Amino acid sequence: MPVQRLNHAVLFVRDVERSSAFYRDVLGFRVKVEIPGRAVFLQAEGSTNDHDLGLFAVGAGAGASEAGRRTVGLYHLAWEVDTLAELARIRGRLVQAGALVGASDHATTKALYAQDPDGIEFEVSWLLPAHLITPEVEAAGVTTLPLDLEAEIARYGAQTKGGIGVSVPLPA
């Protein structure tokens, strides 16, 4: 099964309008199809997918996910941005929304962790381009450090395209 990429994810949420507003206003997703009160299908900016995220309402009485604490289940979704400038912009939006819960430097990946209104965790990350991944960087990847985004911008540049040769094909 030669998977090319994740096409979309579907989440069960308490209030589809509240969750849709969060993903629209904070992360810039746009509504593609809406079934009022029941479901919404969202597309990420720059995506060519029909939709990237489906949200289905299960009602206000739904309990919190126990995945990873008492049950098996999905830990988080991860979305990749193309520059550290974009990661910094998203960090500001997440802070403003009170959604940012962590920021980690995984050496080859610079990651923000946040939670949506239902506490569903997601990651927004920038990946080092392949030509910057040295054996020393790979070795450092076994340790997770706090992310100093300003230092990473100074080191790699705010507009350096991430993931090239890793998650994004090398230019022909």
**Its pTM surpasses 0.75:** yes
65 lies in a domain?
no
Q: Higher-confidence residue: 7 or 93? A: 93
Is the same domain home to 53 and 90? no
CATH of residue 55: 3.10.180.10
End residue of a domain, out of 59, 88, 105: 59
- The whole-chain average pLDDT of the chain stands at 94
Is the same domain home to 30 and 92? no
| Rounded distance between C-alpha atoms, residue 105 and residue 145, angstroms | 5
38 lies in a domain?
yes
Q: Higher-confidence residue: 3 or 122? A: 122
Q: Which residue has the tokens 């381009």?
A: 129
Is the same domain home to 49 and 84? no
Residue 137 sits at φ, ψ, to 5 deg, of -65, -45
Its domain, for residue 102, covers 75-172
Q: In which element (H, E) is residue 53 found?
A: strand 53-57
Is the same domain home to 144 and 168? yes
Percentage of the chain lying above the pLDDT 70 cut: 100
| Rounded distance between C-alpha atoms, residue 49 and residue 55, angstroms | 16
> Is there a contact between 84 and 99 (Cβ–Cβ < 8 Å)?
no
DSSP assignment, residue 132? G
Give residue 168's pLDDT.
87
107 lies in a domain?
yes
- Give 75-93 as a 3 state SS string: CCEEEECCCHHHHHHHHHH
Is the same domain home to 55 and 79? no
Is the same domain home to 45 and 82? no
Classify burial at 140, counting beta carbons within 10 Å of its beta carbon; exposed 0-12, middle 13-18, buried 19 or more. middle
Residue 26 above 90 pLDDT? Answer: yes
Is the same domain home to 147 and 95? yes
97: confidence class by pLDDT, cuts 50, 70, 90: very high
pLDDT digits (tens, 9 = 90+) for 123-145: 999 999 999 999 998 888 888 99
pLDDT digits (tens, 9 = 90+) for 44-64: 998 999 999 999 999 999 998
Is the same domain home to 116 and 50? no
CATH of residue 82: 3.30.720.110
The three-state secondary structure class of 153 is helix
Is the same domain home to 24 and 105? no
65: confidence class by pLDDT, cuts 50, 70, 90: confident
Is the same domain home to 117 and 159? yes
